[in-house]
Chains A and B, each alone.
Chain A
C-alpha cells in the first residue's frame, strides 16, 4: 500500500464545444420514450440475502 503526493494544477485548460438545446440536431437524436410498463416490482424480496448479523450462527 503506498501513497504518493503529487502536485500541480495542470494548465489553464481548453475551450470546448458545448451544444445547447437549440443547437442540437433533435431529428438525429430523436428517441421515443416507451410507455411505462405495468406496475411491476423489479426487485424480488425473496432474493434478499441476509446481512452478516443475520447470517451468523446463533
Chain B
C-alpha cells in the first residue's frame, strides 16, 4: 500500500456558496486551466492551478457537460435540453442545437469529445430517485448532425475514449455496469457494445471517467469515497481513496497532464452527502498526484 497526495483546488465559501453538484472537469491545454461545472448552481468554473485563481460564470440553465473548442475561451455547453456556445470572456451564450424538445423534462448530463472532435453526450430525468430511464445518448458532429447512439438510459455517465484501442466507454450509473464499444473514429460508428466492468461486487456506482495515457480507465466510484483504475483488459489495478463520499468525475490536467482533478457532489441530490474527511468539504474540487499521465482533451471541431 502506498499513498497519494490530495489537494483541495476549490472549495465553496460564504461568497460563492458551497458547490452543489460538481461535474465534468476538462483541462484546456491551450489555456492551462481546468473548466468544470456545478450543475445545480448553473455555473461553469475555471481553475488556474498555477495562480490558484478561480472564476465562475452563471448560466441560464443547468450545464451537464462542456467541450473545448479551438477558440480560446469558447466552450460548447450541454445545458438543459440544448447545446449552446459560451464565450467565457464576455459571458454570452448562443443557442445552437436542441437535442430534445424541452417538453421531455430531461436534462443533458455527462459528455465527452471523441478523438475526431464529435461530442457524445447523454440526457436523463433530473430526479434520479424517480428511477426513470427516459435518457438517450447522442453523438453530435461538427456539422450539427446528431446520431442517437442509445436510448432508455437512466443516468448517462462514464463516457471516455481510448483512441489507440478504438474504444468508447459508457456507464448507465444505476445499472452499475461500465460498457465498452468498438469506436471508429473516422466514421463515428460504434459496435460491439459489451460489459467492461461489473460494479456488482464493488462499492459505489460508476460515475464520470477518463482514460489515461496507458489506456487505463479511471472511474469515479460515487458513494464509495474512491476512484478505481481499470486496465484495458478489465482488471482493477488501483483504488485511490478520496476524502469525500461522492466523487463524480476525474480528468487529467496540469502542465504535463499528471494531475488528476476530481469533482464531487455537495448538497445536491436526494441523499445528503456524508461530511468530508480531513478538512475536505463535499463538493470540493480535488487535485491528486497519481503518478500517471493523462491524454489531451480533444476540441470539438466546429465547421
Interface residues of A (CB under 8 A from B): 1-21, 23-24, 26, 28-34, 36-37, 39-45, 47-54
Contacts and interface: CB of A to CB of B under 8 A. Distances in A.
Interface stretch (B7-15, B24-32, B105-113): B7-15
Given A15-B3, A49-B146, A10 B53 contact: no
Contacts of A51: 97, 141, 143-146
A14 B194 contact: no
Contact of B6 (A14, A39, A44): A14
A30 B202 CA distance: 9
Contacts of A30: 201
6 contacts: A5-B54, A16-B3, A16-B5, A17-B3, A24-B236, A49-B145
A54 to B, nearest CB: 7
Interface in B129-157: 139, 141, 143-150
B7 A47 contact: no
A33 to B, nearest CB: 5
B interface SS class: strand
A16 B194 contact: no
> Looking at chain B, what size class is its interface with the partner chain?
35 or more
B223 interface: no
A interface SS class: loop
B146 A34 contact: no
A7 B47 CA distance: 10
Nearest to B86: A1
Interface stretch (B184-192, B206-214, B267-275, B293-301): B184-192
Given A20-B237, A36-B192, A53 B148 contact: no
